[in-house]
A = this chain, B = another copy of it.
């Protein structure tokens, strides 16, 4: 059973094309949707993805380039047309505290909910969000302005109680939480049934790393080791490596080198330059280094 479902809403770079939209992703988990970046057009793509806007409460903005956040104000206005209270939290680099409020004031006044901006660190990894199912940490990226990636980690689940064993030993409901947490069960006659006869280990927690925009940055490697999916920007191919370095972006090969060094399970490339009419060469370039690579595309839903 998959735990995360990632919907790619936009995976182009700043220069828009008819093929790709600016950056945005919706990560669904356990009934919640986390929005990652919010380029122009995100609200429409979100709607097209079939996800419910009512499930969205936390928005994670990697950096304050327009192609990663200019869809925010239209999206919030639209959310305001729904009857919902509470708060929407925008996790974003600290400059958002200065830049967003006047725009919200002009275009998103009279919202029925609070908008809270949570300033996030961009030069080290830190937990910025935590709910009962998921923890989100920043990943320090190297771009032309303060930029953070995001690591989404499922919480360690409790052990899975085997239904037939629970029935066989007639384990009362009030004991089950403790057994899932690892305790043995003692029968009325004093016999100890060891925990590993009653339960099996939960699936290991699932992890997703979003790294865009960034130049090649080895400091990421230990932070994203073994993640189930790494989304890494691959704005250019190796033929444009000098250009990539100049504008603080990565090549597809560099993304694959990070994926290989971190031993991730799968790499997804995105944030494609408008110069490519077809990203297959980027895919091939990455697969030479890290075979388990796929291309992002608008409309793609990826479950893991």
CB contacts under 8 Å to B, within A46-91, are: 47-48, 64-67, 70-71, 73-74, 77-78, 81
Contact at B70–A73, with CB atoms within 8 Å? yes
Segment touching B, from A11-19, A255-263, A278-286: A11-19
Knowing A21-B44, A41-B40, A44-B41, the reply to whether A66 touches B14 (Cβ < 8 A) is no
* A41 to B18 CA separation, bound complex (whole angstroms): 11
| Stretch touching chain B among A24-32, A101-109, A133-141, A163-171 | A101-109
Q: Does A125 reach chain B (CB closer than 8 Å)?
A: no
What count of chain A residues pass the 8 Å CB interface test?
31
Q: Is A99 an interface residue (CB 8 A)?
A: yes
Knowing A41-B41, A43-B16, A44-B18, say if A73 contacts B81 (CB, 8 Å).
Answer: no
Partner of A74, one of B16, B47, B64, B77: B16
Q: Which of B44, B64, B106, B107 contacts A16 (CB 8 A)?
A: B44
Residues of A that sit less than 8 Å from B by CB: 14-18, 21-22, 39-41, 43-44, 47-48, 64-67, 70-71, 73-74, 77-78, 81, 99, 102-103, 106-108
